[in-house]
Structure 1
Amino acid sequence: MNNFSIISSLLDNDFYKFTMQNAVIKLFPSAKAKYEFINRGKHSFPKNFAKILKENLNEMAYLKLSNEERIYLEKYCPYLDSSYLDFLNKYQYNPKEVNVYQKGKNIKMNIEGLWSRTILWEVPLMAIISELYYKLTGKKRLSDKKIIILTKEKLKKYKKLKVKIGEFGTRRRYSYRVHKLVLKILTEERPPFFMGSSNVHLSHIFSIKPIGTQGHEWIMFHAAKYGFDIADRIAMENWLNIYKGNLGIALSDTYTSSVFFKNFNKKLANTFRGIRHDSGDPINFAKEAINHYKKFKINPIKKKIVFSDNLDPYKVASISSFCKKKIYPCFGIGTNFTNDVGVPSMNIVIKMVKALPEEKWISVVKLSNVEEKSTGKKNMIFFAKKILHL
């Protein structure tokens, strides 16, 4: 491998990709998936960008789980069983699953193959695109010293608020170097204030537990297999069957929160430790969650909401002040930690667009609580909304 590889470890990825991969292998081993790159921010990519991106993803074929990394996973993630770790030992990225081409200043990319294999591409690819973009467009960042000062200032604010925070910033980081620098400062704080990072490789480096549960694609696939109206419920039940109450944070906005709460029955509300908020008004969502728990005579203060939608100290302050003594808030902070370095952060996503649960490919959609975060074909979004009476 050359020295310029942006991704240098198989574990340089978000934790929920591995927890989902484990569940997919166990429940849907023959399912296939297709993903697409969406350039939400309409960024202009420089000449030869696709070529250099391809070189980077070809390098990823050489990544393998090391013995040391396996030992780390056994120690810090006991709910990942040895059969899954054996799979990961043999796993290697296959660049043939990714198709990248450039048209003028635009990049087109899709990923296709077995879901259990292609599931790991999304986050490292986004991290590579982000880092390459800044490198090739010559966008200069703040100095390390300034980034350290800025990060410490944010930490001071969070500490004053007495909130729990985690770092979720792999996919849109400015660079691996900045990510590592920020995490070094965060890990010096240690728990209970700092909950951990979603990046497994950096968590390994700093000997901390990785955090995260499942992503939207888990529920989107269930919609393709079982239908939009019960996707949330079956996805949660399947998750419980695999993890027995570990990793117990449910994702609430794949088909809007109102549909989620219809599926979040008494058993699930009791069993899951909390829910993740990723779109829409956070205060309204907290109110909805509190009422929902009370309806089942569950004390909301014993339940968590993990807020993770584009947070900064100002938003965290207003959310935590509302939640005080009502429900337990935690905060997953992404781009504001890993790409607040004096350049505009990128607005890019890679989303599952089709799933093949059995015989035929089915277009999948994510509705979210805000229009602009929805993904999928327009006719399919229309169809989903009709079924869900939205």
Structure 2
Amino acid sequence: MTTTFEPIIRNLLDTDLYKFTMWQSLLHAFPANQAEYRFVCRNTPAFPLADLKQDVERELDALCAMRFTDADLDYLRTRPFLKSDFIDFLRIFQFQRRYLTIETEGANLSIVAKGPQIHVMGMEVYVLAIVNELYCRRFDRSAAIEEGSRRLQAKIDLLRQQGASTKERRHPFEFFDFGTRRRFSASWHEHVVATLHKEVPEYFKATSNVHLARKYGLVPIGTMAHEYLQTFQAVGVQLKQFQKASLEAWVQEYRGDLGIALTDVVGMDAFLNDFDLYFAKLFDGLRHDSGDPSEWARKALAHYAKLRIDAHTKRLVFSDGLNLPKALSLHAEFADRVQMGFGIGTNLSNDMGTETLNIVMKLLKCNGQPVAKLSDSEGKALYVDATFLAYLRQQFHRE
């Protein structure tokens, strides 16, 4: 007796909004770019990921057979910042399996997406969600769901207990789901989003997942990730100008929409050196993704003060390894000084008492040239060329 194969990804909107926003921008700016993205596991899994190779291949074959539906495109068209030519591009778009290479390297799993950037850049979140769900299937599902349900209720209880104190602050406590890529499963992810939307809508305001945003009437949230800024390291821009060039291109593409800038591609200090009065006025705020969050926030607030900008008109978004207690603590520290938002990933969609993966799929080459990320957190730097990394450090005065 054969069982019917049901793929993990069943709708191409089951990904993060910022994949679409970056996709549109790079389609317009650099349609001929060639790029290479690589899967990386930053921690030690509970069992060899190489064991998943066959199942990953089957899932990615299914992904590459899918197309955006008319209903998908109609929903994307409701986002005012997505342009008609990009929607038309998605109508004829289909992922190409030939751009994906899946191999094993000992106990490790190697996944490389290499080809035209506008064809391979969209694969990232799907690949990570697939690997993560296949990995999580190795655990006792009933026990995990039971523990996950208990922990989800504890989060709701915590919000109800501490919610009153957050309302005493000048700016409200708002958090978002950023958990697509590291979720326990697609069904559990949906359960978490639906439950939070029902139980604590005064605090839970949005999700990065476009499919779930559409299904539950939530705001789909997201702007840019590291790959967007890193691309500008390899497109003929003087290296020390790549951040300014990427921010300027974003402004020209979105004309005031999607105004949260990511700060940690070469570190917060180097970012602020480029984030002058012009950009500080044009962007609505900043997103933290590495380093000490309190120190980062103090630097951001000092920068706005130096530029004579009222920080109450700006927003700081935190998204690095957050949980609710940490988010509430940061809110208590800064919510009288600036608008805030908290994007929580693994701790919402995969808090099940099991050993979680720390996986990413990052841009490492563009147009045949290496690109790199200099994180403010140890262990989050990514590169394939040590010489280029040293040059990048030199250009931005990073030791």
Q: Which moved more, 1:22-31 or 1:128-137?
A: 128-137
Instruction: Kindly indicate whether the alpha-carbon contact (under 8 Å) linking 1:151 and 1:185 is maintained by their aligned counterparts in 2.
Output: no
1:335 to 346, 350, 373: 346
Structure-to-structure mapping, 1:287-298, within 5 angstroms: 287-298=298-309
Secondary structure of the 1:354 match is strand
Looking at structure 2, the residues matched to 49 and 171 of structure 1 have their Cα atoms a distance apart, in angstroms, of: 17
Matched, 1:281 2:292: yes
Looking at structure 1, the residues matched to 382 and 93 of structure 2 have their Cα atoms a distance apart, in angstroms, of: 29
**Residue 90 of structure 1: CA displacement?**
1.1
The amino acid across from 2:84 in the alignment is S
Matched, 1:23 2:25: yes
1:300 to 311, 322, 325: 311
**Residue 224 of structure 1: CA displacement?**
2.0
Q: Where does residue 35 of structure 1 map in the other structure?
A: 37
Looking at structure 2, the residues matched to 199 and 235 of structure 1 have their Cα atoms a distance apart, in angstroms, of: 24
**Residue 188 of structure 1: CA displacement?**
1.8
**Residue 5 of structure 1: CA displacement?**
0.2
**Residue 137 of structure 1: CA displacement?**
5.4
Looking at structure 1, the residues matched to 332 and 21 of structure 2 have their Cα atoms a distance apart, in angstroms, of: 32
1:82 to 81, 84, 89: 84
Q: Where does residue 366 of structure 1 map in the other structure?
A: 373
Matched, 1:345 2:349: no
Structure-to-structure mapping, 1:147-166, within 5 angstroms: 148-156=152-160, 159-160=163-164, 161-162=166-167, 163-166=173-176
Instruction: Tell me how many residue pairs correspond in the alignment.
Output: 385
Q: Which moved more, 1:255-264 or 1:137-146?
A: 137-146
- The Cα offsets for residues 293-324 of structure 1, whole Å up to 9 and x where unpaired, read as 11111001111000001111221122112213
Q: Which moved more, 1:380-389 or 1:141-150?
A: 141-150
CA gap of 1:302–1:191, structure 2 versus 1, over 3 A, is farther
Give unmatched runs, 5+ long, in structure 2: 168-172
Q: Where does residue 382 of structure 1 map in the other structure?
A: 390
Q: Where does residue 71 of structure 1 map in the other structure?
A: 74
Instruction: Kindly indicate whether the alpha-carbon contact (under 8 Å) linking 1:152 and 1:185 is maintained by their aligned counterparts in 2.
Output: no
**Residue 103 of structure 1: CA displacement?**
3.1
1:203 to 206, 213, 236: 213
Q: Which moved more, 1:26-35 or 1:380-389?
A: 380-389
**Residue 4 of structure 1: CA displacement?**
2.1
Looking at structure 2, the residues matched to 379 and 373 of structure 1 have their Cα atoms a distance apart, in angstroms, of: 18
Matched, 1:62 2:72: no
Looking at structure 2, the residues matched to 274 and 195 of structure 1 have their Cα atoms a distance apart, in angstroms, of: 17
Percent sequence identity over aligned pairs: 32
2:48 to 23, 26, 45: 45
Secondary structure of the 1:245 match is coil
Looking at structure 2, the residues matched to 182 and 334 of structure 1 have their Cα atoms a distance apart, in angstroms, of: 11
Structure-to-structure mapping, 1:2-21, within 5 angstroms: 3-21=5-23
Q: Where does residue 132 of structure 1 map in the other structure?
A: 134
**Residue 136 of structure 1: CA displacement?**
3.5
Over aligned residue pairs, what C-alpha RMSD do you find? Answer: 1.9
Q: Which moved more, 1:45-54 or 1:200-209?
A: 45-54
**Residue 94 of structure 1: CA displacement?**
1.2
Secondary structure of the 2:379 match is helix
Secondary structure of the 2:376 match is coil
Give unmatched runs, 5+ long, in structure 1: none
